[in-house]
């Protein structure tokens, strides 16, 4: 991303569960976003073109960060890049995905364990904050445009597609890419596979549109 798109990337070393359950990680993410925004001139970046993104649990944090930034109204986020994001604590517990999902790499039991560690209580419990599990949000209006990419065998397929549908219903421009036959983090395990290259090309294209939407490559 740095070499091809010319981005400056800040990787957040957020605190980890279970030693630091939510909201530690999301507050760390917000702190870095605000720091980058407030020091944009020193960092030689455009504070009006701040993009947030992540994959898996990081994708879930990204979706929560978009909600938090909207609600605190201190920072405008240009775009959210959600790569097979982990959005709903109920997946695999009270909410069951399609039977074929979650058989490879990231299973229902792994998902339950991770959510339990992050939330500090049983996944699916009432009163889970939308800043912990973005799928819990009831109002998605006013969020930045989104890209959601996921594999067709990923445990998160159902929740990701439903979240995308809800974003679009709320008037949020949203692009969806489903890679057939792909499991969770497939592109990390086999980065040079044709499907992995196709996936990267898809979200790189989405990022280019977001970044350069007001700056045509060949202005008249």
Tell me if residue 56 is catalytic. yes
- Provide the 3-class DSSP secondary structure of residue 179: strand
Query: Which DSSP category does 143 fall into?
Result: P
β-strands 79-83, 146-151 pairing: parallel
Tell me if residue 37 is catalytic. no
**Rounded distance, CA 32 to CA 14, Å?**
9
The single residue of 88, 89, 154, 158 carrying the catalytic annotation is 154
**Rounded distance, CA 48 to CA 37, Å?**
8
Only one residue has tokens 């983090």, namely 185
**Rounded distance, CA 167 to CA 173, Å?**
7
- Buried b / exposed e along 143-161 (16+ C-beta atoms within 10 A): bbbbbbbbbebbbbbbbbe
Tell me if residue 202 is catalytic. no
The single residue of 37, 56, 158, 187 carrying the catalytic annotation is 56
Q: Which long-range contacts (CB under 8 A, 24 or more apart) does 196-200 make?
A: 199/149
Cβ(115)–Cβ(174) below 8 Å: no
**Rounded distance, CA 181 to CA 154, Å?**
9
Query: Catalytic positions, please?
Result: 56, 154, 184
């Amino acid at each position: 991303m740095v070499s091809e798109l010319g981005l400056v990337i800040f990787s957040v070393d957020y605190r980890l569960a279970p030693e630091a359950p939510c909201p530690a990680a999301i507050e760390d993410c917000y702190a870095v976003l605000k720091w980058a925004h407030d020091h944009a001139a020193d960092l030689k970046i455009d504070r009006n073109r701040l993009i947030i993104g992540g994959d898996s649990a990081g994708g879930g944090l990204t979706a929560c960060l978009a909600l938090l930034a909207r609600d605190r109204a201190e920072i405008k986020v240009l775009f959210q890049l959600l790569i097979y994001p982990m959005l709903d604590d109920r997946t695999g517990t009270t909410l069951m995905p399609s039977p074929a999902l979650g058989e490879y790499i990231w299973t229902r039991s792994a998902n339950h364990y991770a959510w339990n560690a992050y939330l500090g209580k049983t996944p699916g419990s009432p009163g889970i904050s939308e800043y912990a599990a973005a799928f819990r949000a009831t109002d998605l209006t006013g969020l930045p445009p989104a890209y959601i990419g996921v594999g067709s065998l990923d445990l998160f397929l159902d929740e990701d597609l439903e979240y995308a549908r809800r974003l679009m219903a709320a008037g949020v421009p949203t692009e969806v890419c489903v890679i057939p036959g792909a499991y969770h983090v497939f592109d990390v395990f086999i980065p040079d596979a044709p499907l992995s290259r196709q996936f990267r090309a898809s979200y790189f294209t989405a990022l280019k549109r977001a970044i350069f939407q007001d700056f045509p490559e060949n202005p008249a």
